[in-house]
Structure 1
Amino acid sequence: MNSDSLRFFKAVAETGSVTEASKRLHCVSSNVTTRLKRLEASLNVCLFRREKNRLHITPEGEYLLGYAKQILALLDEAQRNLQARTPSGPLRLGSLETTAAIRLPSLLSSFSLQMPLVELSLETYSTFQLVKKVLNGELDLAFVAAHDSLPYELLGRIPVWRERLVLVTAKDHADVVTADDLQVNKPLKFAQGSHYRARFEQWISQQSLAGAGLQEFGSFQAILGCVASGMGISLLPDSVVRFYAQSFAVRGHTIDPAIGEIDTLMIWHKSRESGWGISAFRQFVVNNGSVHDE
């Protein structure tokens, strides 16, 4: 088993097809098939289940795929670092959607001007998904919501911003101190895996709020729009509510700081913390971000 075999295996696993994998790898299909058979023979396991024109990965294949992604990410990083005299090449970033919209644009713009050879990419996911992608080697760095269940033994981390979560209602709603003050109590939440959702559920439990069932949304703009229309309430960073105050008729209400205050962490895998692009970006964020700006 070598790195080339792992690249062929990863391509087939991600495309589900020898033909599509061969296109990605710029080689003939027979080469992909041969490499795959040799890898299965060397490991003495079946990596794919063949059905009609598709290949379905087996549990053994899923197990190997996790390692393959990490190994190939490390090899690619090593090649980039050895070839570069200054930070350059791809830097794969991940972020919470709200952080990407409010916190990162000016930061990324400034970094790009200072490090023009670094090729930035940014994906948005929930904290749970971001941590998983960092650990799998699919992201170099990510901005996530801090919480106790993060695998801190595997992650390097720096607190960058402190967000203040507020209860969000329509703009014409009266002040809310307790749940009894609510004119509408339908909770509009992010999808599972969001730590902001977990904090919202904690607040709902604290207030013993009983009412209509869960309404789940994939974006904070959709939540803001529905809150503005009077559909329900939500919990979002105050920075988001203030930034979009001109676009959505909403307002924020202060809640218990034990629930409302939450740090945004920049995280990376401890085994991949020495890349020049990663190090340069990490230092740039330290110099230009502040945990005390809220």
Structure 2
Amino acid sequence: MTFDQIRSFYLVAVLGTYAKAAEHLNATQPTISARIVALEGRLGVKLFDRSGHRVALTPEGRSFLRSAEKLLDIQADVFRRFDKPGIRGIVRIGASDTMAVTWIPSFIAELRAANPNAEFELHIGPSYRLHEELLARKIDIAFIVGPIASPELISHPLCRCPLVFTAAPSLGLHLRRIVSADIEKMDIFTFERMTRPHQELVRVLRTKNLSPRIHPVNSLQTVVLMVKKGLGVGVVPFGAVEEDVADGNLAVLNTDFSLSDTPFIICYPSGPDSHAVETLAQHVKEFLKARGSSDSIRIID
């Protein structure tokens, strides 16, 4: 019995298919199947019922799952105590658009330099989609909008990002205070409907009985580009436009109401194979703490 066999069994049990376990381990499906067969032969029991579309644990399999989790916990503890420092293997990182355009590039550069034996895959997308990918074990860790309530995931507070109204200086909107009557006439570009910033914008507008034209866009960079071209006003995290504001390409508007900060968390699946992501999560906290809070990112201690 090997730890490769035990980990393969654990992932098939958690994810429900050989294919998903193979993808997670960067292995082939026949390899995973061979490991399970060898493990069943060593234990002398059938661990899975393979009669349906998804494999299901047998009673013996459910019993062995508890033992597998304990064995993998022991292995992870040994690695933490005696293994050489650093992250190894392929780590799949998910990040929201907001994180991707602010500190993620610098963090990845630092991470690669400190961990030459690791490869880092970056998945950029809306937080709700990255949440789904975490649950499906398609990514290992994500920096997304929180909070979330999921017993399968571990999360830690990370930072808060202020949302601002911004526009091209050519529109002249930054030269005066923007009141509710002005906003009613605006075209506003912002995140997708299912995102926290979009819902926060709608919530605030409703409290003011305002109904401007809101244009959801599934790319933060595209929102910024359209606003820079003067097509309307953007509601975006300040960090996404900080450089453009400093360069005079965009201006932050002075409105008669404000939007709540967007809270971000570090999130990853719970389980005995989380040693690498726990190390990475600690790196993230140290990296952002070293940068310090700013107008665009407010660190949560």
TM-score (norm 2): 0.66
Which blocks of at least 5 consecutive residues in structure 1 are unaligned? 16-23, 32-41, 48-60, 65-70
Mapped to 1, the partners of 2:132 and 2:28 lie a distance apart of 26
State the AA in 1 paired with 2:19. A
Instruction: Report the number of matched residues.
Output: 254
Match of 2:277 in 1: 278
Match of 1:53 in 2: none
Please report how far the alpha carbon of residue 86 of structure 1 lies from its aligned counterpart in structure 2 after TM superposition.
3.9
> What SS is found at the alignment partner of 1:227?
helix
Deviation by residue 1:112-160 (Cα, 9 ceiling, x = unmatched): 111211211110111111122222222211111124xx11544322322
Give the direction of change, closer, same or farther, for the CA distance of 1:259–1:245 in structure 2 (3 Å limit). closer
Please report how far the alpha carbon of residue 248 of structure 1 lies from its aligned counterpart in structure 2 after TM superposition.
8.5
Deviation by residue 1:6-27 (Cα, 9 ceiling, x = unmatched): 5995439999xxxxxxxx8387
Match of 1:191 in 2: 192
Please report how far the alpha carbon of residue 163 of structure 1 lies from its aligned counterpart in structure 2 after TM superposition.
0.8
Contact in 1 for aligned 2:49/2:56 (Cα 8 Å) = no
Mapped to 1, the partners of 2:160 and 2:254 lie a distance apart of 15
Mapped to 2, the partners of 1:8 and 1:25 lie a distance apart of 16
Give the direction of change, closer, same or farther, for the CA distance of 1:111–1:78 in structure 2 (3 Å limit). farther
Match of 1:166 in 2: 164
Residue 155 of structure 1, aligned match among 153, 169, 173? 153
Give the direction of change, closer, same or farther, for the CA distance of 1:251–1:139 in structure 2 (3 Å limit). same
Mapped to 1, the partners of 2:103 and 2:269 lie a distance apart of 22
Mapped to 2, the partners of 1:63 and 1:236 lie a distance apart of 45
Match of 1:100 in 2: 100
Matched residues, percent identical?
17
Mapped to 1, the partners of 2:73 and 2:228 lie a distance apart of 46
Mapped to 2, the partners of 1:26 and 1:272 lie a distance apart of 22
CA RMSD of aligned residues (A): 4.3
Please report how far the alpha carbon of residue 249 of structure 1 lies from its aligned counterpart in structure 2 after TM superposition.
3.4
Mapped to 2, the partners of 1:234 and 1:138 lie a distance apart of 32
Match of 2:28 in 1: 25
Mapped to 2, the partners of 1:137 and 1:257 lie a distance apart of 40
Please report how far the alpha carbon of residue 269 of structure 1 lies from its aligned counterpart in structure 2 after TM superposition.
2.0
Which blocks of at least 5 consecutive residues in structure 2 are unaligned? 1-5, 35-47, 58-64, 296-301
Mapped to 2, the partners of 1:193 and 1:78 lie a distance apart of 40
> What SS is found at the alignment partner of 1:119?
strand
Mapped to 1, the partners of 2:252 and 2:219 lie a distance apart of 18
Mapped to 1, the partners of 2:167 and 2:279 lie a distance apart of 40
Deviation by residue 1:97-126 (Cα, 9 ceiling, x = unmatched): 121121111111112111211211110111
Give the direction of change, closer, same or farther, for the CA distance of 1:259–1:183 in structure 2 (3 Å limit). closer
Deviation by residue 1:181-230 (Cα, 9 ceiling, x = unmatched): 34851232322432222222223223322243x42322112111222233
Contact in 1 for aligned 2:19/2:29 (Cα 8 Å) = no
- Comparing 251-260 with 280-289, greater Cα deviation is found at 251-260
Contact in 2 for aligned 1:200/1:234 (Cα 8 Å) = no
Please report how far the alpha carbon of residue 255 of structure 1 lies from its aligned counterpart in structure 2 after TM superposition.
6.0
Mapped to 1, the partners of 2:229 and 2:115 lie a distance apart of 43
Mapped to 2, the partners of 1:256 and 1:62 lie a distance apart of 57
TM-score (norm 1): 0.68
Match of 2:181 in 1: 180
Please report how far the alpha carbon of residue 63 of structure 1 lies from its aligned counterpart in structure 2 after TM superposition.
9.6
